[in-house]
Amino acid sequence: MSFVAVAKILKPRGVRGEVWVDRYREGFPAFEEGSDLWLSGEPGVPRRVLSFFQYAKGCVLKIEGVDRPEVAAALSGQEVLLPEDRIPPGEPEEFEAGEVRGWAVVDARRGTLGTVSSVVPGPAYWTFLVEGPGGAEIEIPAVKGYGTELDRERNQIRVDLPEGFPGVDDED
């Protein structure tokens, strides 16, 4: 079964083992009571959702077996995973962080720059962390101004970075 990262556990909330979560796509997932999810630190081990709610301060998730703040704290930083077949289609430019990991990043002029090692969500846009030749890391904002385009058939992200972009060699 193939999994996609859909949220990140931020920190514990309260004394009952609830956790704050940051969903990667606004409004999805809703984490329905009784449904299963998986955690990045426990691949292959399903966990049951006991409750989920959202309010002005954020999203709160209660997972079966997490009943104390110490247990919840140990989950901080882990990603919440769902099976790929439970992910609804988004707009062509929308993506899940877990979906693009390992994809090649190809620049219009320079060719392949490397592969996506992770995606960092931000308040205005996400950033692809790309592992380039020799392990060098390149940070590429996922913005239309850089011609960012997803090619799901080839598992590639195409970009058109300007000359002098940090971390990218402009030599022919």
pLDDT by residue (tens digit) across 135-151? 889 999 888 788 888 88
Distance separating alpha carbons of residues 66 and 59, to the nearest angstrom: 16
- AA identity, residue 146: Y
Q: Which residue has the tokens 């009952």?
A: 16
130 located within any domain: yes
Domain boundary among 56, 86, 116: 86
pLDDT value at residue 46? 95
Domain boundary among 58, 86, 114: 86
User: Do 8 and 81 belong to one domain?
Assistant: yes
Segments forming the whole domain that contains residue 10: 3-86
172 located within any domain: no
**pTM of the predicted structure, to 2 decimals:** 0.57
pLDDT value at residue 115? 94
108 located within any domain: yes
Task: Give, as one character, the DSSP assignment of residue 14.
Answer: T
pLDDT value at residue 91? 53
Buried residues in 16-43 as b, exposed as e (16+ CB within 10 A): ebbbbbebbeeebbebeeeeebbbbeee
120 located within any domain: yes
User: Do 62 and 124 belong to one domain?
Assistant: no
User: Do 51 and 11 belong to one domain?
Assistant: yes
pLDDT value at residue 47? 95
pLDDT digits (tens, 9 = 90+) for 39-95: 998 878 999 999 999 988 889 999 999 999 999 999 999 999 998 888 776 654 567
User: Do 71 and 12 belong to one domain?
Assistant: yes
The total domain count for the chain is 2
Domain boundary among 86, 113, 136: 86
Query: Nearest 5°: phi and psi at 99?
Result: -65, -40
User: Do 79 and 113 belong to one domain?
Assistant: no
**CB distance 7 to 23 below 8 Å:** yes
Instruction: Give the CATH number for residue 16.
Output: 2.40.30.60
92 located within any domain: no
Mean pLDDT of the chain: 87
